[in-house]
């Protein structure tokens, strides 16, 4: 049985991370609705990583991933610098 990724319902799109940071209580308002939604699925792997084929198709995919992370980190550092 092939499983596929679960699409987040529109009412929960607000939990999608935007910009820098990883620790936040800004998603607290979605907690109960998210738990109700996620509990309907069987536990386990429900799909492949989004960019798996892209990275595995490249010879040095670990290096490629690091390069993308570095580029995104640099972009994050420049966000809001002009407004100070």
List the chain pLDDT tens, one digit each, 84 residues.
456 778 889 999 888 877 766 666 778 899 999 999 999 888 877 777 777 777 777 666 566 667 777 787 777 777 655 544
Domain ranges within the chain, ordered by starting residue:
49-79
Q: b/e map of 33-55 (b: 16 or more CB within 10 Å)?
A: ebeeeeeeeeeeeeeeeeeeeee
Euclidean distance between CA atoms 6 and 41, whole angstroms: 9
Q: pTM score > 0.75 for this model?
A: no
Token pair, residue 66, equals 């690091």
């Amino acid at each position: 049985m092939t499983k596929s990724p679960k699409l987040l319902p529109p009412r929960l799109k607000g939990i999608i991370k935007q910009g820098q940071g990883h620790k936040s209580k800004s998603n607290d308002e979605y907690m109960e609705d998210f738990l109700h939604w996620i509990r309907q699925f069987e536990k386990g792997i429900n799909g492949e990583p989004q960019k798996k084929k892209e990275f595995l198709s490249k010879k040095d995919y670990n290096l490629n991933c690091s390069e993308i992370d570095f580029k995104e980190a640099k972009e994050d550092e420049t966000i809001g610098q002009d407004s100070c």
